[in-house]
Amino acid sequence: MAKQPTSPEARSVRLLKVGEQVRHILSELLLRQEVRDEVLSAHTVSVTEARMSADLRHATVFVKSLLGADEAEVLKALRTNTAYFQKEVAGRLKLKYAPKVQFVPDESFDVASHIESLLADPRVARDLSKSDDEESD
């Protein structure tokens, strides 16, 4: 039987689903402190997103140490234990290939707070209120 052609939308949904499964597995491992590492045991780490490559062989995992404490140290500990995480993900996912996991810090919270501080600036608020007044005329 011929392989059914998949649309780009269907492929992206599959990538999102697999990425979410990887995120859940890693979050569970960190929550239950199944990895034997003092740094990871001492910190609460949030796995905010897992992005899969198109071939599902690579996973970029975005992590954030809660309260931003010792982020570099936590990231180093995660990268040191990457082999353990990859083994666990491979065992729990039913994929043809086990994805290679790469941990990177999640900067989205920093970007969001920077944008919020810019919007709170009185000069920006003044400009925004002017444009609202012009639209209502």
Task: Give the model's pLDDT for residue 1.
Answer: 42
Task: Give the model's pLDDT for residue 112.
Answer: 64
Cα 50 to Cα 1: distance, rounded to the nearest angstrom: 33
Domains in the chain (CATH in brackets) are 8-106 (3.30.300.20), 107-137 (no CATH)
Instruction: Collect the ranges in the chain with pLDDT lower than 70.
Output: 1-11, 68-69, 108-114, 128, 130-137
Taking only the tens place, the pLDDT of each residue in 22-62 is 999 999 999 998 888 888 888 888 899 999 999 999 999 99
DSSP string, the chain: -PPPP--HHHHHHHHHHHHHHHHHHHHHHHHTT-S--HHHHHS-EEEEEEEE-TTSSEEEEEEEEGGGTTHHHHHHHHHHTHHHHHHHHHHHS--SSPPEEEEEE--HHHHHHHHHHHHHSHHHHHHHHHHHHHHH-
